[in-house]
């Protein structure tokens, strides 16, 4: 090892991955796409390709077992992987599950975790085909790799957005982040006085969005029914702003996003205001919504118009025009990501 010591937080998560994998080249003719999108692409046949993605969730970093029931954790670990396959416009089919657990977890705890995995596998029609189970020195970590399929002609990359395309988001944003704020607040109250019951009244929706997010597999079905193939797509794990910037960077385009168009549920807004937070900022930077963000040709607008699951929030511009957030007063602000950096 060299004598130089560079703190990994200096690069951030994406910079770190880019740095570590820059030397790697694809040599097998079946490896169609490697690192850099929601999933890798492997050649299957003239018509079809396999999509592969992997996600590692670590206790104390990605989840806190004080308020995350193990059954929910198992469900969420599958859902976030399925979401990556959805983001490529594909259908998830198989997963492998690797688990490291310390001996403080009894068998019954792992049964709860697998119960959640089982529920998610049933809901998303995914098969558990393999895994590895080992002990850990402390805590729990779960890695899931998901494999899916898509017609090659329908795969949506981050890189396909073109000038004048419309920017569309599914569902509503910011709820998972506000759910986390409520859970964190009640955790602090509980730590200060364990006899006080958590006050989660009226927060069912946002808490469920945090503890049991769903992959938008339904959207992939709707898009097929509507005969719309997005020009680009990504799932919203790190926050809307971060994902818009990913699409713009990969597609070499600019974008105008309109604050007033961003869909936010009333319960999310009310909770944000209670917490003295700006709902729009929560929606832009909150993360973990697992909604889909995609671009479509203007010609396809009529097909999605009025669809309750999809909202047009902006349009793609020339790369030189930059990426702008247009606030409610019509002022344009350069969009910046303030998403999650686990290395901070």
Q: Does 134 bind a second copy (CB under 8 A)?
A: yes
Burial code of 285-319, b = ≥16 C-beta within 10 A, e = fewer?
bbbbbbbbbbbbeeebeeebeeeebbbebbbbbee
Which CB, 26 or 196, lies closer to a second copy?
26
Which CB, 63 or 325, lies closer to a second copy?
63
Rg, Å, the chain Cα set: 20
Residue 198's contacts (CB-CB under 8 Å, 6 or more residues apart) are 186, 189, 190
Q: Contact at 8 Å (CB) between 113 and 69?
A: no
For residues 53-92, which are near a second copy according to CB under 8 A?
Answer: 53-56, 58-62, 70
Size (the chain), residues: 344
Contact code string over 225-254 relative to a second copy, x by CB under 8 A? ------------------------------
Binder among 205, 222, 258, 343 for a second copy (CB under 8 A): 343
Cβ of residue 141: shortest distance to a second copy, in angstroms?
Answer: 6
Q: Does 119 bind a second copy (CB under 8 A)?
A: no
For residues 36-55, which are near a second copy according to CB under 8 A?
Answer: 39-40, 42, 44-45, 50, 52-55
Q: For residue 179, which phi and psi values (nearest 5 degrees)?
A: -60, -40
Binder among 21, 64, 298, 318 for a second copy (CB under 8 A): 21
Torsional sign, CA 266, 267, 268, 273:
positive
Size of the site for a second copy (CB under 8 A): 85
Binder among 64, 66, 133, 218 for a second copy (CB under 8 A): 133
Q: Contact at 8 Å (CB) between 258 and 333?
A: no
**Alpha helix ranges (H) inside 65-125:** 70-86, 107-124
Cβ of residue 15: shortest distance to a second copy, in angstroms?
Answer: 10
Cβ of residue 67: shortest distance to a second copy, in angstroms?
Answer: 14
Cβ of residue 290: shortest distance to a second copy, in angstroms?
Answer: 15
Cβ of residue 341: shortest distance to a second copy, in angstroms?
Answer: 9
Strand partners, 312: 168
Taking CB under 8 A as the binding criterion, the range among 121-129, 258-266, 293-301, 306-314 that sits at the site for a second copy is 121-129
Which CB, 118 or 309, lies closer to a second copy?
118
Cβ of residue 128: shortest distance to a second copy, in angstroms?
Answer: 5
Which CB, 154 or 163, lies closer to a second copy?
154
Q: Does 17 bind a second copy (CB under 8 A)?
A: yes
Q: Does 221 bind a second copy (CB under 8 A)?
A: no
Cβ of residue 264: shortest distance to a second copy, in angstroms?
Answer: 28
Q: Contact at 8 Å (CB) between 199 and 183?
A: no
Cβ of residue 92: shortest distance to a second copy, in angstroms?
Answer: 9
For residues 136-195, which are near a second copy according to CB under 8 A?
Answer: 136-139, 141, 143, 145, 147, 149
Q: In what order do the strands lie in the sheet with 127-135?
A: 31-33, 40-43, 48-58, 140-151, 91-101, 127-135
Cβ of residue 39: shortest distance to a second copy, in angstroms?
Answer: 7
**Cα gap 157→150, rounded to integer Å:** 12
For residues 89-118, which are near a second copy according to CB under 8 A?
Answer: 93-94, 96, 98-101, 103, 105-112, 114, 118
Which CB, 60 or 221, lies closer to a second copy?
60
**Cα gap 18→216, rounded to integer Å:** 28
Closest to 258 measured CA to CA, from 332, 173, 174, 337: 332
Strand partners, 151: 48
Burial code of 213-225, b = ≥16 C-beta within 10 A, e = fewer?
bbbbbebbebbee
Residue 208's contacts (CB-CB under 8 Å, 6 or more residues apart) are 179
């Amino acid at each position: 090892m060299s004598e130089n010591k560079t703190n990994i937080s200096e690069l951030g998560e994406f910079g770190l991955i880019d740095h570590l994998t820059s030397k790697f080249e694809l040599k097998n003719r079946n490896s169609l796409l490697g690192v850099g999108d929601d999933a890798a692409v492997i050649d299957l046949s003239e018509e079809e390709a396999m999509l592969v993605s992997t996600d590692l969730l670590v206790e104390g970093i990605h989840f806190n077992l004080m308020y995350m029931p193990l059954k929910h954790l198992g469900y969420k670990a599958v859902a976030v992987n399925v979401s990556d396959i959805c983001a490529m416009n594909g259908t998830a089919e198989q997963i492998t599950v690797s688990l490291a657990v310390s001996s403080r977890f009894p068998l019954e705890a792992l049964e709860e975790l697998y119960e959640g995995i089982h529920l998610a596998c049933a809901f998303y029609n995914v098969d558990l085909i393999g895994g590895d189970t080992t002990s850990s020195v402390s805590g729990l970590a779960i890695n899931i790799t998901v494999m899916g399929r898509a017609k090659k002609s329908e795969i949506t990359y981050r890189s396909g957005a073109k000038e004048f395309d419309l920017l569309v988001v599914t569902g509503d944003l910011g709820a998972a982040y506000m759910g986390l704020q409520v859970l964190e607040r009640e955790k602090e109250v509980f730590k200060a006085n364990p006899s006080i019951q958590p006050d989660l009244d009226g927060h069912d929706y946002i808490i469920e969005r945090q503890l049991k997010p769903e992959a938008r597999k339904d959207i992939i079905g709707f898009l097929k029914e509507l005969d719309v193939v997005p020009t680009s797509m990504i799932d919203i794990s790190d926050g809307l702003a971060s994902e818009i910037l990913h699409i713009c960077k990969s597609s070499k385009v600019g974008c105008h996003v309109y604050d007033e168009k961003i869909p936010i549920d009333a319960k999310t807004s009310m909770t944000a205001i209670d917490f003295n937070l700006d709902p729009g900022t929560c929606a832009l930077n909150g993360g973990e919504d697992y909604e889909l963000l995609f671009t479509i040709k203007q010609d396809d607008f009529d097909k999605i118009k009025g669809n309750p699951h999809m909202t047009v929030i902006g349009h793609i511009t020339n790369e030189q025009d930059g990426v702008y957030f247009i606030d409610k007063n019509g002022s344009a602000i350069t969009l910046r990501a303030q998403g999650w950096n686990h290395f901070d």
